[in-house]
Structure 1
Amino acid sequence: MDKAQESEIINALSALKNPCDLDAILICTVPHDQPAEGEGPRTGLLHPRFREDLPLVDDLARVLVEQCVYYALPRRKRLELHEQVANDVSKAVRIAALVRDVFIDFNARHPSRASELGEVLAYCIVQRHLSAPQVAAKMALKTAVNMPFHGLDGVHAAFENGALTVYFLEAKLAGAARTGAARYAKSAADFLADKKLYAREYQLVGDLGHLDSLTGAARQAAIDYFDIWNKPELPRRERFVGVICHSEPKHYADKLPVNDGPVEAHQTHFSKVYGADHAALRAFAEQAIIKSGGNPAKATLFFVAVPDVNELRKAFYRALGLPVPAAFPDDDAEDEDVELEVTVP
């Protein structure tokens, strides 16, 4: 391998990383790379931190809204706006308005969807826990007039172990962890089965992604590594990531009494109870992926437990400055026929 080219692709991906202090608000109770017995996808469990006995749901929504500027806007546009703000801080108001307009356009074009929250959450988790920056602003692409809606929720990448690892993201919001896992497995399988969709994701990154904001040798290296047609000899691997944000009313209802003991006791208790679900969720996800025709060895799942997904959605809309819908549609309504009969205790 050309060491200079390897160095440049590393430089390119490093330039695409954005700041995100996710750990300040979202605690990882079981890391995705923790050694586990038996087969199954890498599986991590996360949940909001607590302020004494209260999970910080509104704070999580606020942090995700702050990250929307990185998730929703193409990097070239963000660099232009950053320069404007550096010269005149009042231009920061314009950035907030632009981000809000992207989400307004998305809702106007796709009124049956309410999945933006999950997509931003997935963006943050993959950048933080897999050290893989976003290589295309999918929200901006989804609101373009001439772009079809169907496609992945995100494409990220990292250079590791001598190859470019391309991460294909699917975000699911669900009333239960297992429902979200089954929906993820079906979506990933549908993507793999659609060769045109697969090819288009690479084309979008090369033609309309963040790579055009890079310069010099780093830009060319990035373009080459994502050119699977003309540069097949470059080392690549593909991995599939599911971020499943789900309601967990049972565990959140299992509260300790409030007293004057250690303030972190409530958070520690929830982490322990939720963490005990790890093996069963991992086994369920493995069976769901296999049943859909996927390979668990190529999958990584992150489960994020909140008291109520729809309450988090409402908090997200409020923090973004958008009207809160009177009711939310069922997430991924097209997946309602997913078979959930996976026999894991």
Structure 2
Amino acid sequence: MVDEATIVEEFVALARGKASALIDFLPAFEEAVTVPDTSTLVRTHFIAHDANGVPAVEKLAGAMAAATLDFCIPRSKIQRAVAELEETGSTAAIVSLQEQARDLFVKSESSGEGGELLLFLLMERVLQRPQLISKMALKTNTAMHVHGSDGIHASLADDGTLDVYWGESKLYKSSSDAFKECFDSIAPYLRPSGDSKRKQDLLLVRDHLNVTQIELAAHLLEYFDETNPKSLKARWNGVCLVGFDHDNYPNIAILDDAQRQAVSKAVGRWHKTVGSRLKEFDIVGVNIDLFCIPMPDVADLRARVLKRMGAK
């Protein structure tokens, strides 16, 4: 008989990396806030500043680029490469996987995959929700994006409920455009009428589940079998990353009262925009985790991530 407590423990352990390795460069501003009359929880983060008072964009880009292999390559391939290292002492297999991961990214500074990579890090390191499928590994053309949602992660509760999170990331110059495009993209997966959209992704999950433990994988797949009663305990949710350019970029570690009040007012305006967009796209009742991340320059972060990856 399956030990539910052990299964939950094994699943949580799938989340990779330490939160501090990311959040030190991307600290939160105030507490997370639930937007009134919705089920969306907003977390606002700003890029940290270094000792010279400069936004640590390069540090964040480095943390993102360092996670490329985890994001792009299935755990089974990584484990085989690690086993080869332990057996032979050679890192050749790991280096090869790193090159494969880099080459899967679209070679363009306007690529949305930088946002997908940051969303992956926030999900695994901050929220501790493991990736269910490495969609980047399914790409057949490095000049094209993967169709469907930007990621699928999950959490498994002690009561047996599997929360599945469809991800969407948008990094735009304009905050208004970023919020609109994000909710426009994710809404089809979250509405009650979205069964066909969810099924497309879940077919991929069933065929390419990114879990190597046989018993745990078998347990999870039961949730995606419509003939299994366990499918009644699968709940659909959303997780979003919205990044946009923000002028007069604040160092939230040293704000005086007037400056903090000004930033709080800006955050309040973003919350109102979120509320109106949720109503516009009819997803006010769906559980959504939203990371709101103003940046000095979205395009600059994209370019730095690709450069750290070694992309030409």
Report the TM range for the smaller structure's normalisation.
Answer: 0.7 to 0.9
Residues 1:290 and 1:84: Cα distance change in structure 2 (over 3 Å)? same
**How many correspondences in the alignment?**
302
Q: What residue number does 1:220 align with? A: 218
SS in 2 for 1:169: strand
- Residue 121 of structure 1: how far off its partner (Å): 0.4
1:302 aligns with 2:291: yes
Q: What residue number does 2:302 align with? A: 313
SS in 1 for 2:162: strand
Structure 1: gaps of 5 or more residues:
257-263, 324-345
Residues 1:311 and 1:112: Cα distance change in structure 2 (over 3 Å)? closer
Residues 1:12 and 1:271: Cα distance change in structure 2 (over 3 Å)? farther
> Which residue identity lines up with residue 307 of structure 1 in the other structure?
P
Residues 1:223 and 1:266: Cα distance change in structure 2 (over 3 Å)? same
1:158 aligns with 2:159: no
> Which residue identity lines up with residue 43 of structure 2 in the other structure?
G
- Residue 269 of structure 1: how far off its partner (Å): 8.9
Contact 1:177 1:246 (8 Å CA) reproduced? yes
Q: What residue number does 2:126 align with? A: 129
Q: What residue number does 1:38 align with? A: 36
Contact 1:286 1:296 (8 Å CA) reproduced? no
> Which residue identity lines up with residue 224 of structure 1 in the other structure?
E
274-283 or 264-273: which moved more? 264-273
| Counterpart Cα distance in 2 of 1:195 and 1:303 | 27
1:85 aligns with 2:85: yes
SS in 1 for 2:154: strand
Residues 1:269 and 1:96: Cα distance change in structure 2 (over 3 Å)? farther
Q: What residue number does 2:17 align with? A: 19
Residues 1:158 and 1:37: Cα distance change in structure 2 (over 3 Å)? closer
- TM-score normalized by the length of structure 1: 0.78
Q: What residue number does 1:7 align with? A: 5
- Residue 229 of structure 1: how far off its partner (Å): 4.6
| Counterpart Cα distance in 2 of 1:305 and 1:219 | 37
1:282 pairs with one of 261, 271, 276: 271
55-64 or 191-200: which moved more? 191-200
| Counterpart Cα distance in 1 of 2:176 and 2:17 | 31
| Counterpart Cα distance in 2 of 1:255 and 1:160 | 37
Aligned runs of 1:31-70 on 2, under 5 Å? 31-32=31-32, 34=33, 38-40=36-38, 41-52=40-51, 53-70=53-70
| Counterpart Cα distance in 1 of 2:257 and 2:64 | 23
Query: For the aligned residues, what is the CA RMSD?
Result: 2.9
Q: What residue number does 1:261 align with? A: none
> Which residue identity lines up with residue 89 of structure 2 in the other structure?
D
| Counterpart Cα distance in 1 of 2:42 and 2:123 | 13
55-64 or 221-230: which moved more? 221-230
| Counterpart Cα distance in 2 of 1:171 and 1:78 | 25
Q: Deviations over 1:145-173 (max 9, x none)?
A: 9x994200000000136211111100101
Contact 1:174 1:309 (8 Å CA) reproduced? yes
1:142 pairs with one of 134, 139, 144: 139
- TM-score normalized by the length of structure 2: 0.85
> Which residue identity lines up with residue 314 of structure 1 in the other structure?
A
Q: What residue number does 1:180 align with? A: 178
> Which residue identity lines up with residue 305 of structure 1 in the other structure?
P
Structure 2: gaps of 5 or more residues:
none
| Counterpart Cα distance in 2 of 1:221 and 1:269 | 53
- Residue 28 of structure 1: how far off its partner (Å): 1.2
Residues 1:219 and 1:255: Cα distance change in structure 2 (over 3 Å)? closer
Residues 1:58 and 1:273: Cα distance change in structure 2 (over 3 Å)? farther
Sequence identity percentage: 22
- Residue 89 of structure 1: how far off its partner (Å): 4.3
